[in-house]
Amino acid sequence: MGEREKLFRKGIADIKAYVPGKPMEDVMREFGLTEVVKLASNENPLGPSPKAVAAMKEALDSVNYYPDGACLALTQKLASKVNIDPDAIIFANGEDNIISLISKTFLNEGEEMIMADPSFSSFEISARAMGAKVVKVPVRTDFTTDLDAILEAMTEKTKLVFLCNPNNPTGTISTSSEVESFLNQLPDRVVVILDEAYKEFVDDPDYPEGLDYVRAGHNVIVSRTFSKVYGLAGIRVGYAIGHPQFIGGMKRIREAFATNRLAQIAALAALDDDEFLEKVIASNREGREYLYAEFERLGLPYVKSETNFMLVDTKKDIQQVFLDLQRHGIIVRPAHIWDMPTWARVSVGTREENEKFIRALEQVLA
């Protein structure tokens, strides 16, 4: 530990920082490429919502003004769309900001947060920053989240449970019956966060509607994002829905202007872009089926996914495969960071991008 790190809040120096997917610009520069396919960060390959882009272009001349700190227009529109009390909604600078706000609002030093392993690392980072203990519960052999084991891991110090559903990086879901049974066994002192960033991509009819649990009065907060299906990852719009008292606490510590002006305008327009939404979902569904078939042809184990990404076992050192794929202009997410040394997480691209990836993967594995 460096001398200045000793001045940090207790535990900060021990936190492993989040490392995002490798940027395309870095790969182009390192390997002298002019074109790169990025399948590492679960971004929307069809681009952003056209209605959102048009709305932002019209609003560019107004960026000298501060945004509406309360996100009033966006909150009211979303509340109407999902039939929920506007006081039960909070917007922030992406879902990562929502996760941070939740940990800041609920976790005291020494309390415990439980999460699946592997799952989204921002859960752990935000909890450790508040001095909480992070308890990781391994997923089952079929890569689904083990809710029974999470119940068994609880102690009198458990305060939060982050349940990523569908889970990142596994792509699997917890079903309605599993989640309902889990919630009914929880003590009142525990708050469950249902991270539904990939909700729109789910096809399984047994997938639960998180807002139903909020309406039923459970200690549940649902977090969602405009980054994935709406293609607005670059402008950062995330939100949470929960009991107004929970949301009120989060609003007390939210930054004054957490969601920027263009982000609010884009999200407002995106909520009306059902045509784009349906196009993205259909393209993703087709892409998943194509990749499943190709992985089977290549004899590579994979995990069926309810998201816009999937795990695949390359049967080779993934760090070397990751490097070799970059030479072919393909970026994936190496899963050794989740202690899966031969696996990769691959985002679903366009048909052309998926085919380029498979051709490159064949060459690399050969």
Q: Mean pLDDT, to the nearest integer, of 188-195?
A: 97
Nearest to 357 by CA among 307, 312, 305: 312
Model confidence over 252-273: pLDDT tens digits? Answer: 999 999 999 999 999 999 999 9
Q: Mean pLDDT, to the nearest integer, of 279-284?
A: 98
Contacts of 283 (CB under 8 A, 6+ apart): 45, 46, 350
Q: How many CB atoms lie within 10 A of CB 276?
A: 21
Q: Mean pLDDT, to the nearest integer, of 14-21?
A: 74
Tokens of 150: 């999470």
Q: Mean pLDDT, to the nearest integer, of 341-348?
A: 98
pLDDT at 274 over 70: yes
Q: Mean pLDDT, to the nearest integer, of 338-363?
A: 98
pLDDT at 23 over 90: no
> Mean of the per-residue pLDDT values for the chain?
95
pLDDT at 25 over 90: no
pLDDT at 64 over 90: yes
Q: Mean pLDDT, to the nearest integer, of 76-93?
A: 98
Q: What confidence score (pLDDT) does residue 78 get?
A: 98
Q: Mean pLDDT, to the nearest integer, of 226-247?
A: 98
Q: Mean pLDDT, to the nearest integer, of 91-107?
A: 97
Q: What confidence score (pLDDT) does residue 14 get?
A: 78
**Confidence band of 1 (pLDDT split at 50, 70, 90):** low
Domains of the chain: 4-47+275-365 (3.90.1150.10), 50-270 (3.40.640.10)
Tokens of 133: 């203990």
Query: Residue 35 gets which letter from DSSP?
Result: -
The answer to whether the bond into 118 is cis (omega within 30° of 0) is yes
Q: Please report which residue ranges of 32-165 form alpha helices under DSSP H.
A: 50-59, 72-82, 94-106, 121-129, 147-152
Q: What confidence score (pLDDT) does residue 8 get?
A: 77
pLDDT at 363 over 70: yes
Contacts of 235 (CB under 8 A, 6+ apart): 56, 260, 262, 263, 266
Q: What is the pTM of this model?
A: 0.94
Order of strands, sheet of 89-92, starting from the edge strand that comes earlier in the sequence = 89-92, 238-241, 220-225, 191-195, 158-164, 112-117, 133-138
Q: What confidence score (pLDDT) does residue 12 get?
A: 78
Q: Mean pLDDT, to the nearest integer, of 302-325?
A: 97
Measured distance CA(347)–CA(220) in Å, rounded: 29
Tokens of 233: 């990852």
Nearest to 230 by CA among 74, 53, 57: 53
pLDDT at 3 over 80: no
